Amino acid sequence: MSKADRKVPSPVKRRFFPRILRCFARRNDGAAAVEFAMVAAPFLALVFAILETAIIFFAGQVLETAAADSARLIMTGQAQKAGISQAQFKQEVCKRVFGLFDCNSGIKVDVRTYSAFNSADMSKPIDGNGNVTFTPSFQPGSPGDIVVVRLLYEWPVWVSLLGLNLADMSGNKRLIMATAAFRNEPYQ
């Protein structure tokens, strides 16, 4: 077959190719697959962002409950009477949080006494670079003292979507902090 035989005459081109193009334009067999491919990535990213946000809020609530429960040991004087150390108090906290947190190396426990409620520091201890800027202390106080118990955990953030990033620390982490402020009971 020569080159001349392989050439398609121009009248055939004019009639045949537009008909094929019109035929492809009318076909919609794969339209659902193409539309799904365009929508799947943003949809899945949104679902993962919602799930991660929910898990972070749930972890915050678990930490709040642990702070309230373990702070009761100090408020009622049980920790002071038993001579509980900071490590032992942290173990009491760890008994109340499990599954979500790496308690031994992740949770920081800070217990401080104050002279008045308005002088108590309850802010997140994060500097401008996104690093934690405090040294944990353990001062459970005496009867009638004002005490603030803070539990801190650096939660890893995996999904950031549309400029909404849950991380407030360096290393793509979020500081989850639970606080309990109270006056010690007049225990004996």
Residue 71 lies in a domain: yes
Residue 23 lies in a domain: no
pLDDT in the model for residue 163: 59
pTM over 0.85: no
Residue 48 lies in a domain: yes
Residue 83 lies in a domain: yes
118 secondary structure, DSSP code: G
Token pair, residue 123, equals: 């802010």
Q: How far apart are CA 121 and CA 44, in angstroms?
A: 40
Angle at Cα 81 formed by Cα 78 and Cα 83, nearest 5°?
Answer: 105
Residue 100 lies in a domain: yes
Q: Would the pLDDT of 37 be above 80?
A: yes
Residue 14 lies in a domain: no
Residue 34 lies in a domain: yes
Which domain does 36 fall in, by range? 30-183
SS3 call for 44 = helix
Kindly report, residue by residue over 177-186, the tens digit of the pLDDT: 999 999 999 9
Residue 12 lies in a domain: no
Looking at the structure of the chain, the number of domains it has is: 1
Q: Would the pLDDT of 9 be above 60?
A: no
Q: Would the pLDDT of 4 be above 60?
A: no
